[in-house]
Amino acid sequence: MQSAALNYKLIKKIKDERFDVDLINEYELLIHIGARDLQVGVVDTREDRLLLLEDFVFPSLASQEELREVLMQLFDDHELLTAGFWKKITISFKNNRFVQVPEILFVEESLEEYLRLNARFDPEKDSVRSVTSKRSGAVTIFTVPKVFEEWFLGLYPNVPITYIHQSAALIEGVIEVSRRRGDNPLYIYVDRFKLHIIAARVGKLIYYNQFVIKQFAE
């Protein structure tokens, strides 16, 4: 799995002893895709318990097509990822092609107009999707490469797939934590190649932004 020819490397794997491959139809598969990394999670929907977490990294790739080729190799080699009988699948993308709009101002027909305020994208290659965050009251509009949509549709034709964006998931998590705190700390998440800064007060989002990290010294 760690051969250089395969262009990916497993960095970390954590597996709960209660994981049972015969119960996959009760599990949710989580897939988080970045430009140079991938995280895989499996959640038991009956107990809302994370049973498996894996972290993979890739070399620098020149295009979405190259990234898909690496992912196809990884999925083919993986013992679980090509299984087609998950209860549900959530796929998250980590990129800078997104924008957040207050739900009260959101108009479904204006997805592309909203996104053009903050990002460049190619309608021929990118699908524009949205996800509503219940806790923040915001709608995150983001892109999903069409080559990935087509691939996942062919890979999981009988499983419901939900697409989300990393920023929406981070904001929702921080807001939930802030509801249980009496103080108002600043939340800083150092990701691979990105720095996320989030501020929330009593369950309300105050600030969110992300910054590219080209080298760790930054």
pLDDT, one tens digit per residue, over 53-101 is 999 999 878 788 889 899 999 999 999 999 999 999 999 999 889 999 9
Inside any domain, residue 9? yes
Domain harbouring 52, CATH code? 3.30.420.250
Phi, psi of 67 (to 5 degrees): -60, -45
Inside any domain, residue 195? no
Cα gap 156→113, rounded to integer Å: 31
Inside any domain, residue 188? no
Averaged pLDDT of the chain: 91
Domain that holds residue 33: 4-165
Q: What angle do CA 99, 102, 106 make, to 5 degrees?
A: 85
In percent, how much of the chain has pLDDT > 90?
A: 72
Inside any domain, residue 189? no
Which residue would you say has higher pLDDT here, 32 or 213?
Answer: 32
The count of domains in the chain is 1
Cα gap 54→69, rounded to integer Å: 19
Inside any domain, residue 18? yes
Q: Does residue 183 have a pLDDT over 60?
A: yes
Inside any domain, residue 111? yes
Model confidence at 4, in pLDDT bands (50, 70, 90)?
Answer: very low
Q: Does residue 218 have a pLDDT over 70?
A: no
Segment 5-24 mean pLDDT = 90
Inside any domain, residue 107? yes
pLDDT, one tens digit per residue, over 119-129 is 999 999 999 99
For residue 187, the model assigns a pLDDT of: 93
Give the three-state DSSP class for 211.
Answer: strand
For residue 122, the model assigns a pLDDT of: 93
Inside any domain, residue 187? no
Element (H, E) at 217: none
- pTM of the predicted model as reported, rounded to 2 decimal places: 0.90
Q: Does residue 1 have a pLDDT over 80?
A: no
Q: Which pairs count as long-range contacts for 67-70, CB under 8 Å and 24+ apart, including other chains?
A: 67/33, 67/35, 68/145, 68/147, 68/148, 68/151, 70/6, 70/7, 70/8
